[in-house]
Amino acid sequence: MTALAPAQAPVVGPRYKWVVLSNTTVGVLLATLNTSSLLIALPVIFRGIHLDPLAPANFPYLLWMMMGYMLVTAAVVVTAGRIGDIFGRVKMYNLGFAWFTVASVLLAVVWSTGPTGALELVIFRMVQAVGGALLFANSAAIITDAFPSEELGFALGTNQIAAIVGMFLGVLVGGLLSEAGWRWVFLANVPVAAFGTVWSYLKLKEIGVRTKAHIDWLGNIAFAAGLAMILTGVTYGIKPYKHSLTGWTDPFVLEMLFGGVALLIIFVFLETKVKDPLFRMSLFRIRAFAAGNLAQFLGAVGRGGFQFMLMIWLQGIWLPQHGYSYAATPLWAGIYMIPFSIGFMVAGPLSGKLSDRYGVRPFATAGMLLNAVMYALVMLFPANFAYWSFAVVMFGIGISGGLFAAPNTSSIMNSVPARDRGAASGMRVTFGNAGMPLSMGLFFTLLVIGLNAKVPSAMYRGLVAHGIPGAQATQLAHVPPLGYIFAAFLGDNPLKSLLGAKVLGHLPAAQAADLTGRSFFPQLIGGPFKHGLVLILAVGAIMCVVAAIASLLRGTTYIHKDEESKAQDLKAGLITGPDDDQTPFIDPLFMTVDNPGRGK
């Protein structure tokens, strides 16, 4: 495995880095906007294809619409980054933009209805995820190629603001566009994606070090298949199985989990034997890289699923009690989460800038510890809380995310040789994206356990008191909690869906109105939900503390430098001569990959 001569790279001026930052920011904005807008528009999309997502037979389509994109991205992003290292990161990034554009068009023109239409949406959504993986894997590497190490934290912090802005705008855009028709949710991506595609093809240059190597097909297959199997098992672990509230005893789930672990073990073995591995396992001997990715994964497990819990809390309990219809709760839940976005937007670039000067460790570690403290505060909230206290805590959680994200990313990307930046960026994204569905599987399981301990008896008493026959009330009281959780998440009144028009039609109008109004269900589920949420918050806080410890163990600032990266910096205009590199270094605790860094 050899690197292409850096002299082949085009010479770019000092302004080029801002072109890179602005274009990659558009890419991140597009990908995150698309994700959140889809979540808000799911009820309209399923109505548009004439399919009830809450029907038991259709529930897998709902799960795959929510999780399929994340699963595919996690499974192929390392491959996407490695191919970028070999054939050119800009080339693969450009392909990702074009791929994403075409997939958006395919999603918008889905021609079938019913289960077939849902299957087409799931497939095209997973196709779109490949374009997202090409963007995610190569964007951080392209930024690292273009920015000097002492400015990388600021650049990545600014880039990651776009992710938060995209998530917030996606809520608004998804809510507004779904009113015009579900196809517009996907069509709205096309102009932005087309603009980004043309811009990247015209302006971005291939300045990164490229590696001459063969593609490790066995490693690619083992890694992608193993991770996909594990995440598929986690996804179906949420789904009830026979008489069990969750699917963790389902033989299919167990096969996926154990089979996936076995394939990942095989992957690690293969990577130590092949000449040109998909991912050089020796990179994990770099303490900054290994600790940064561990902190990334633990943070994703501790925080990822909690965002969904917050949305359910707002949409199913708090907002209905404060006068909002269930149909409007998805949009307003996003609006009431604005303090989180503001906190991240304030802390993201600021912590990136300060970490460039004072080091990564204090900011990334403080971010995870602050997150744990905020979780502890949320444990003290009643189910029907005062909004000002919620807003303050959401702002604090946003600050904690901003403190952690950019410094941790810059630490990971600065620590690896220039020729491995694509694969390293892909591995970083994989740890984050794999942590999210694992977090959802864990947190939904804890929530279901908490709800099932409290809800059945309370629901039975409430239904009987409102005229529902005892036998029917017993049946409805033992409906798996996941059914009414997802109903609330999708902006549908859970009891209206569970009871149905036939049952409600036989009740006096006043009793039917009480059962399907804005107070009965939130009051019924509020206390049990908070009971389950305390378990979730305790686990999340522990994960964040462990992530903080991992972050603390990354050591002081380490920036990998070798002759290839110096030559690349010279071509990119980051330094003016071979001896002009004034970047500070601190030697890590252990460093065995190629050329070690220098001591500060």
Give strand ranges (E) for 318-471. none
Residues of the chain with pLDDT under 50: 1-7, 580-600
pLDDT at 286: 87
Q: Are 131 and 100 in contact (CB under 8 A)?
A: yes
Backbone φ, ψ for residue 87 (5° rounding): -105, -10
Please, what's the b/e burial string for 146-166 (b: 16 or more CB within 10 A of its CB; e: otherwise)?
bbbbbbbbbbbbbbbbbbbbb
Please report whether residue 549 resides in a domain.
no
Domains in the chain, number = 1
Q: Are 288 and 555 in contact (CB under 8 A)?
A: yes
- In 3D space, the residue among 358, 430, 365 whose CA is nearest the CA of residue 400 turns out to be 365
Coarse DSSP helix, strand, coil percentages of the chain, rounded to the nearest 5 percent: 75, 0, 20
d(CA 339, CA 398): 7
Please report whether residue 385 resides in a domain.
no
Please report whether residue 75 resides in a domain.
no
For 28, the enclosing helix (H) or strand (E) is helix 16-48
Please report whether residue 428 resides in a domain.
no
Expressed as residue numbers, the domain containing 240 is 216-275
Please report whether residue 224 resides in a domain.
yes
pLDDT at 468: 83
* Beta bridge partners of residue 3, listed in sequence order: 211
Please report whether residue 246 resides in a domain.
yes
- What region, left, alpha or beta, does residue 438 occupy, with left being phi > 0 and alpha being psi -120 to 50 degrees? alpha
For residue 106, which amino acid is it? L
- In 3D space, the residue among 160, 51, 193, 184 whose CA is nearest the CA of residue 113 turns out to be 51
Backbone φ, ψ for residue 2 (5° rounding): -130, 155
Please report whether residue 561 resides in a domain.
no
DSSP assignment, residue 597? P
SS3 3: strand
Please report whether residue 254 resides in a domain.
yes
- What region, left, alpha or beta, does residue 12 occupy, with left being phi > 0 and alpha being psi -120 to 50 degrees? beta
For residue 452, which amino acid is it? N
pLDDT at 576: 52
The residues near 57 (Cβ < 8 Å, ≥ 6 apart) are none
pLDDT at 373: 96
pLDDT at 7: 44
Backbone φ, ψ for residue 585 (5° rounding): -135, 150
